[in-house]
Protein backbone atom coordinates (compact mmCIF):
# COMPACT_ATOMS: atom_id res chain seq x y z
CA UNK A 1 0.00 0.00 0.00
CA UNK A 2 2.81 2.43 0.88
CA UNK A 3 4.46 1.89 -2.50
CA UNK A 4 1.16 2.48 -4.29
CA UNK A 5 0.92 5.79 -2.40
CA UNK A 6 4.36 6.91 -3.57
CA UNK A 7 6.77 5.61 -0.93
CA UNK A 8 9.88 4.18 -2.57
CA UNK A 9 10.26 0.48 -1.83
CA UNK A 10 13.90 1.04 -0.79
CA UNK A 11 12.62 3.40 1.92
CA UNK A 12 10.50 0.69 3.52
CA UNK A 13 11.91 -1.62 6.16
CA UNK A 14 10.03 -4.76 7.14
CA UNK A 15 10.65 -6.75 10.29
CA UNK A 16 10.45 -10.44 9.35
CA UNK A 17 11.91 -11.70 12.66
CA UNK A 18 9.90 -9.78 15.23
CA UNK A 19 7.55 -12.29 16.78
CA UNK A 20 6.31 -9.85 19.43
CA UNK A 21 6.46 -6.14 20.14
CA UNK A 22 9.44 -6.29 22.45
CA UNK A 23 11.54 -8.34 20.00
CA UNK A 24 10.57 -6.07 17.14
CA UNK A 25 11.69 -2.98 19.03
CA UNK A 26 14.86 -4.67 20.27
CA UNK A 27 15.74 -5.80 16.74
CA UNK A 28 14.81 -2.74 14.73
CA UNK A 29 15.80 0.20 16.91
CA UNK A 30 19.57 -0.36 16.49
CA UNK A 31 19.08 -0.61 12.72
CA UNK A 32 16.98 2.54 12.60
CA UNK A 33 19.44 4.48 14.74
CA UNK A 34 22.34 3.29 12.55
CA UNK A 35 20.45 4.62 9.53
CA UNK A 36 19.96 7.96 11.27
CA UNK A 37 16.21 7.47 11.71
CA UNK A 38 14.72 9.09 14.77
CA UNK A 39 11.09 8.73 13.69
CA UNK A 40 9.20 5.58 12.82
CA UNK A 41 5.79 4.83 11.34
CA UNK A 42 4.20 1.73 12.81
CA UNK A 43 1.12 0.00 11.43
CA UNK A 44 -0.79 -2.50 13.53
CA UNK A 45 -4.23 -3.33 14.88
CA UNK A 46 -5.83 -0.29 16.53
CA UNK A 47 -5.83 -1.91 19.97
CA UNK A 48 -2.09 -2.66 19.77
CA UNK A 49 -0.88 0.80 18.75
CA UNK A 50 -0.55 2.32 22.26
CA UNK A 51 1.89 -0.45 23.24
CA UNK A 52 3.81 -0.13 19.97
CA UNK A 53 4.14 3.59 20.58
CA UNK A 54 5.17 3.14 24.22
CA UNK A 55 7.83 0.54 23.40
CA UNK A 56 9.41 2.70 20.72
CA UNK A 57 9.27 5.82 22.89
CA UNK A 58 11.08 3.97 25.68
CA UNK A 59 13.72 3.11 23.08
CA UNK A 60 14.15 6.79 22.24
CA UNK A 61 12.28 7.02 18.93
CA UNK A 62 9.48 9.33 17.89
CA UNK A 63 6.61 7.14 16.76
CA UNK A 64 3.67 7.74 14.47
CA UNK A 65 1.03 5.05 14.35
CA UNK A 66 -1.56 4.07 11.78
CA UNK A 67 -4.27 1.48 12.43
CA UNK A 68 -4.30 -1.36 9.94
CA UNK A 69 -7.50 -1.75 8.01
CA UNK A 70 -9.26 -4.83 9.33
CA UNK A 71 -10.15 -7.19 6.51
CA UNK A 72 -12.63 -9.10 8.66
CA UNK A 73 -14.15 -8.86 12.10
CA UNK A 74 -12.23 -10.52 14.85
CA UNK A 75 -14.39 -12.67 17.11
CA UNK A 76 -11.70 -12.60 19.77
CA UNK A 77 -11.59 -8.77 19.82
CA UNK A 78 -12.72 -8.39 23.48
CA UNK A 79 -9.96 -10.77 24.58
CA UNK A 80 -7.34 -9.01 22.44
CA UNK A 81 -8.28 -5.57 23.77
CA UNK A 82 -8.21 -6.80 27.38
CA UNK A 83 -4.83 -8.45 26.77
CA UNK A 84 -3.45 -5.16 25.43
CA UNK A 85 -4.54 -3.26 28.54
CA UNK A 86 -2.52 -5.65 30.73
CA UNK A 87 0.42 -5.67 28.31
CA UNK A 88 0.50 -1.87 28.13
CA UNK A 89 0.76 -1.58 31.91
CA UNK A 90 3.44 -4.27 31.94
CA UNK A 91 5.54 -2.40 29.36
CA UNK A 92 5.13 0.87 31.22
CA UNK A 93 6.05 -0.60 34.61
CA UNK A 94 8.98 -2.55 33.14
CA UNK A 95 10.49 0.73 31.93
CA UNK A 96 10.63 1.97 35.53
CA UNK A 97 12.75 -0.97 36.69
CA UNK A 98 16.55 -0.71 36.61
CA UNK A 99 18.11 -2.45 33.61
Average predicted confidence (pLDDT) for the chain: 85
Examine the pLDDT at 99 and tell me if it is beyond 70: no
- pLDDT average, residue stretch 9-24: 84
Residue among 64, 84, 68 nearest 76 (CA): 84
Question: According to the model, what pLDDT value does residue 85 have?
Answer: 83
Q: Which domain holds residue 28?
A: 3-96
Structural domain total, the chain: 1
List Cα–Cα distances, 29 to 4, 10, 12, 53, in angstroms.
26, 18, 14, 13
Examine the pLDDT at 68 and tell me if it is beyond 80: yes
Question: According to the model, what pLDDT value does residue 65 have?
Answer: 93
Examine the pLDDT at 72 and tell me if it is beyond 80: no
Q: CA geometry: angle at 43 spanning 38 and 46, to 5°?
A: 125
Question: According to the model, what pLDDT value does residue 36 have?
Answer: 92
Q: Which of 48-52, 64-68, 82-86, 89-93 has the lowest mean pLDDT?
A: 89-93
Q: Are the CB atoms for 61 and 38 separated by under 8 Å?
A: yes
CATH of the domain at 15: 3.40.50
Amino acid sequence: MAVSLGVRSEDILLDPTGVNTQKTVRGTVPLLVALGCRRVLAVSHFYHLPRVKLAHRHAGLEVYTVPAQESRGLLQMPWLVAREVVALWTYDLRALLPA
